[in-house]
């Protein structure tokens, strides 16, 4: 749970966010009842079948139980995500707390937008051991758009999300590490709008809108967000960015390592999916994606996978797994693009 001084605590009415998100969410693709039931059954089965090859490739979570996944529609994902965010940020807004209402509506709009984009996610903040969530209508929508083999695509998606489940289940400290970083982000003293705008303007002038500076710090929207924060909050954001980059890159590495053996059409799926990631969207969609950090997330896959590929190629998966030991063995921001520096520092 979030610390008592967390500024996020009680600031969002997450129940209102869920209700708003459900009202604003777009309906999913039209399917027959048979198709809907089939995709639910196949995703549930694929989430179990993916576990063994992921464990074999990663060398993680050996002997741990394999929990069942939750297969959801968009409304179900919105409710689950709102609950998870409530747990991460310290609980729902206090009854009658006016500030929570507008924030709840804004959060609901965000969840509505994301509900049509999320294929699946591992929620480490729900249940005793976290929960794997898979959004059936979005899986159907993407596999139709890409024109890939449905059964292969469903298993391929599960390989990625199951890797996240394996990461967290084998490294329980990760959940608390994320919570502590979020608490720090929300613990800053109030800052005047004038001061924040001044720092933001200075950042725009001095750093520009580049992808990264010489230290590896991100640019663009995320870089500007860093520039408006005090040092403790900037460091917390950097920790979350590095962790997200590692988790996503590791999952992509595992998908490619496992894929050829268990997903016959993996090469076609990877090519089509990567092309979809690079596809241009209209200006409004690009703005929304930037504000929600989705473009930064796309970059995380690329940079994170390059880091994992390089380290595993050099030292092997067993030695790479030292990365999951604790906070000190995670890569630093500059090391994501300099994997040899991580190897030297951590593995000697």
Q: Per-residue DSSP letters for 169-231?
A: HH-THHHHHHHHHHHHHT-PPP--HHHHHHHHHHHHHHHTT-SB-TT--B-HHHHHHHHTS-H
Comparing 29-43, 70-84, 187-201, the range with the smallest average pLDDT is 187-201
Q: How many residues belong to the chain?
A: 348
Q: What average pLDDT score do residues 273-280 get? A: 70
Question: What is the DSSP code (8-state) at residue 335?
Answer: G
Comparing 81-90, 230-239, 278-287, 321-330, the range with the smallest average pLDDT is 278-287
The percent of residues in the chain predicted with pLDDT above 70, rounded, is 74
**Neighbouring residues of 250: CB distance < 8 A, sequence distance ≥ 6:** 58, 163, 167, 304, 305, 308
pLDDT confidence tier of residue 195, bands split at 50, 70 and 90: very low
pLDDT for the residue 102: 80
Q: Select from 138, 137, 151, 114 the least CA-distant residue to 264.
A: 151
pLDDT for the residue 7: 45
pLDDT for the residue 2: 36
pLDDT for the residue 191: 47
| Rounded (5°) CA angle 239-10-195 | 60
What's the distance, CA 306 to chain centroid?
17
Sheet bearing 120-123, strands edge to edge: 70-72, 131-135, 120-123
Residue 69 · residue 132 · CB < 8 Å: yes
């Amino acid at each position: 749970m979030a610390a008592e001084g967390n500024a996020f605590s009680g600031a969002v009415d997450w129940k209102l966010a869920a209700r708003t998100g459900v009202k604003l969410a777009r309906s999913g693709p039209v399917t027959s009842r048979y198709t809907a039931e089939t995709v639910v059954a196949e995703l549930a089965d694929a989430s179990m079948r993916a576990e063994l090859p992921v464990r074999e490739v990663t060398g993680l979570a050996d002997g741990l139980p394999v929990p069942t996944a939750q297969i959801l529609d968009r409304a179900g994902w919105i409710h689950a995500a709102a609950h998870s965010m409530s747990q991460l940020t310290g609980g729902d807004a206090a009854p009658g707390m006016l500030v929570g209402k507008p924030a709840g509506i804004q959060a609901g709009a965000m969840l509505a937008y994301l509900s049509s984009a999320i294929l699946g996610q591992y929620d480490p903040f729900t249940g005793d051991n976290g929960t794997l969530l898979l959004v059936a209508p979005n899986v159907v929508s993407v596999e139709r758009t890409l024109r890939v083999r449905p059964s292969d695509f469903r298993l391929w998606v599960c390989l990625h999300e199951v890797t996240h489940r394996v990461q967290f289940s084998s490294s329980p400290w990760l959940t608390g590490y994320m919570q502590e970083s979020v608490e720090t982000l929300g613990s800053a003293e109030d800052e005047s709008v004038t001061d924040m705008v001044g720092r933001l303007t200075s950042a725009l002038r001095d750093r520009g809108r580049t992808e990264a500076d010489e230290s590896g710090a991100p640019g663009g929207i995320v870089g500007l967000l860093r520039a408006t924060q005090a040092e403790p909050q900037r460091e917390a954001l950097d920790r979350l960015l590095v962790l997200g980059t590692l988790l996503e890159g590791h999952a992509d590495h595992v998908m490619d390592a496992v894929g050829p053996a268990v997903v016959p059409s993996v090469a076609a799926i990877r090519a089509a999916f990567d092309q979809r990631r690079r596809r241009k969207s209209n200006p409004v969609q690009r703005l929304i994606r930037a504000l929600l950090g989705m473009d930064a997330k796309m970059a995380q896959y690329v940079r994170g996978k390059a880091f994992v590929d390089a380290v595993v190629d050099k030292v092997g998966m067993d030695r790479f797994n030292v990365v999951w030991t604790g906070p000190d063995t995670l890569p630093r921001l500059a090391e994501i693009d300099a994997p040899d520096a991580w190897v030297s520092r951590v593995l000697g």
